[in-house]
Amino acid sequence: AQRVTQPEKLLSVFKGAPVELKCNYSYSGSPELFWYVQYSRQRLQLLLRHISRESIKGFTADLNKGETSFHLKKPFAQEEDSAMYYCALRGNTPLVFGKGTRLSVIA
């Protein structure tokens, strides 16, 4: 079975502080992992794909197969980063999403 766990429902950080949003997954095969962001009452937008190893809006995420994790990181949080963040896994079925973490960046 495919499962994504985001242990934190809410994460509050001060502007300029580092951010790490945790994501752990369960899948026996080779997963495709994604981070999506949802700003207030808007559509989900693709933020990162593990396969591309890119940095978007200062965010990065590294797939750690040993720890089955795909944590999202940013060295310096900005107020505009406040949003819901969803980790998603695609194995042998369509995307399965975690419950999401609400990031609140405090000025």
Partner 1 sequence: DAGVIQSPRHEVTEMGQEVTLRCKPISGHNSLFWYRQTMMRGLELLIYFNNNVPIDDSGMPEDRFSAKMPNASFSTLKIQPSEPRDSAVYFCASSRPPTNYGYTFGSGTRLTVV
Interface residues toward partner 1, by CB under 8 A: 32, 34, 36, 42-46, 49, 51, 86, 88, 90, 93-100
Shortest distance, position 17 Cβ to partner 1, whole Å? 26
Which CB sits closer to partner 1, 27 or 34?
34
What sign has the CA pseudo-torsion 75, 97, 100, 85?
Answer: positive
Which CB sits closer to partner 1, 77 or 103?
103
| The CA-based dihedral angle spanning residues 86, 19, 75, 58, taken in that order and rounded to the nearest 10 degrees | 20
Shortest distance, position 94 Cβ to partner 1, whole Å? 5
Shortest distance, position 53 Cβ to partner 1, whole Å? 12
